[in-house]
Amino acid sequence: MKDAIKEYINYIFIEKKLSDNTKDAYLNDLTELDCFLGHKNVNEITSNNLTSYINYLSNNNEKDKTIARKLVSIRTFFKYLMREGKLIENPCEKISSPKLKKALPKVLSEDEINKLLSFKPTTPKEYRNKAMIELMYASGLRVSELVNLEINNINLIDNYVRVYGKGRKERIIPLASSTCNILDSYINIYRNSLLKGYLTDKVFISSYGKGITRQGFFKILKKMLNNAGIKKECSPHTLRHSFATHLLEHGADLRSIGDMLGHENIKTTEIYTHLSNNKKRKDYDEFHPRNKGNV
């Protein structure tokens, strides 16, 4: 199975052009399965083996969402092997995925976003940090897209950012002038001082003079939230959800929001309508005069 996994990982990375993070996730999931099964040949693996593995994950308190994600890795792997003629029978056909509850994404309110971005930067790192948060909220980028952004992806004359998302699919997202202003200051005045002699096209530079990592951005975000007095649990993806939700609340078209987020299916974007409807309900309950119990 080890050789089949290696071949499949090369396929999704080279031919399917999936990201390094996706490739690593698939590799980890499939290697874990291979170890659990005792390094069987792929044609020896049965649906009972896979059911045992799912039960093992469940008994070890893995979340349903994690199990479902691992199953996606496993299903696509065996589907690939069937297509390549390396399997007689697909052991995944009788395997059911755990039913997941649809959780609404967490967002920051507009007041919280304003608090987060209200500080006045004075150092190169502070300009970098503010530029990253401004850009994330202004464009709805994924954190992987943010840290992989290169200088020539940002157009400060026509105010847009060019992004290469999942599957290297390109999209162009307009930017507010306030976002371009902070990016302009960071890129043209402060960025060089962070490079420390290194050469890189990455926009956002770490303390070591190289492109900032996902983990590095998460640490910066947590520190900025704490400094702003925001106690809500928040991840980099929360900024992406906030971008979409606030656009929708201010009347933006759902299709336009989906295009900016890089969604292939409008149904993926529709989750933000639930968030918007929840806010409407809350506002109605709080502010409508006929809902005050005094009529």
Active site residues: 142, 166, 237, 240, 263, 272
Structure-token pair, residue 79: 């589907």
What are 205's strand-pairing partners? Answer: 211
**Residue 171 φ then ψ, to 5°:** -145, 150
**Residue 211 φ then ψ, to 5°:** -60, 140
Q: Looking at 140-270, list the stretches that DSSP marks H as alpha helix, in order from N- to C-terminal side.
A: 143-147, 177-185, 191-195, 214-227, 236-249, 254-261, 266-269
- C-alpha 133/C-alpha 140 separation (Å) is 10
- C-alpha 138/C-alpha 87 separation (Å) is 47
- C-alpha 133/C-alpha 200 separation (Å) is 21
DSSP 203: S
